């Protein structure tokens, strides 16, 4: 993929993810009341809504990762040197979600040192995925025998 195509896809997906994350933030109090019978609340709404979002988002990305690994083949060489629609979509979603995670991370009630560590991780992860999407290689590095 060309970087311009990757950028356009990440921008579109970031908008969708931003709306999803905002919906999780807005709906969190009602979700907590519903599942707890009115007993639960959260003193860190940003962290709780991030967790709520992650349940759905990471389940879908995991599905795409398994599907992508299945489509790419049985050997590590096939997975290292190829890409599929599912693996590319998973990579694009991870990049977009990492971008949308940035403002959320600063709203969480966690020590600043943890915030910067998580941000460094997301920036590095996004860079690796962008490179993989651009080259079409290394989509499933974790699939060593």
Domain membership of residue 20 (yes or no) is: yes
Domain membership of residue 142 (yes or no) is: no
pLDDT in tens, 76-107: 777 777 788 888 899 999 999 999 988 888 88
Structure tokens at 55: 């349940």
* Whole-number pLDDT of residue 96: 95
Domain membership of residue 131 (yes or no) is: yes
pLDDT in tens, 28-74: 878 777 877 777 677 788 888 888 899 999 999 999 988 887 887 76
Domain membership of residue 124 (yes or no) is: yes
Domain membership of residue 86 (yes or no) is: yes
Residue with the bigger pLDDT between 60 and 27: it is 60
Confidence band, pLDDT 50/70/90 cuts, at residue 138: low
Domain membership of residue 141 (yes or no) is: no
Please determine, for residue 144, whether its predicted confidence score (pLDDT) is greater than 50. no
Domain membership of residue 56 (yes or no) is: yes
Q: How many domains does the chain have?
A: 1
Give the 3-state secondary structure of the chain. CCHHHHHHHHHHHHHHHHHHHHHHHHHHHHHHHHHHCCCCCCCCHHHHHHHHHHHHHHHHHHHHHHHHHHHHCCCHHHHHCCCCHHHHHHHHHHHHHHHHHHHHHHHCCCCHHHHHHHHHHHHHHHHHHHHHHHHCCCCCCCCCC
Domain membership of residue 145 (yes or no) is: no
């Amino acid at each position: 993929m060309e970087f311009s195509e990757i950028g356009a896809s990440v921008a579109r997906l970031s908008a969708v993810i931003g709306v999803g994350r905002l919906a999780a933030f807005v709906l969190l109090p009602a979700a907590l009341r519903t599942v707890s019978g009115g007993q639960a609340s959260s003193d860190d709404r940003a962290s709780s809504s991030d967790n709520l979002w992650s349940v759905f988002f990471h389940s879908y990305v995991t599905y795409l990762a398994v599907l992508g690994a299945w489509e790419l083949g049985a050997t590590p060489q096939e997975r290292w040197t190829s890409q599929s629609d599912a693996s590319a979509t998973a990579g694009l979603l991870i990049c977009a979600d990492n971008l949308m995670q940035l403002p959320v991370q600063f709203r969480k009630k966690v020590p600043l040192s943890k915030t910067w560590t998580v941000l460094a991780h997301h920036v590095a992860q996004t860079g690796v995925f962008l490179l993989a999407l651009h080259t079409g290689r290394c989509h499933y590095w974790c699939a060593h025998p």
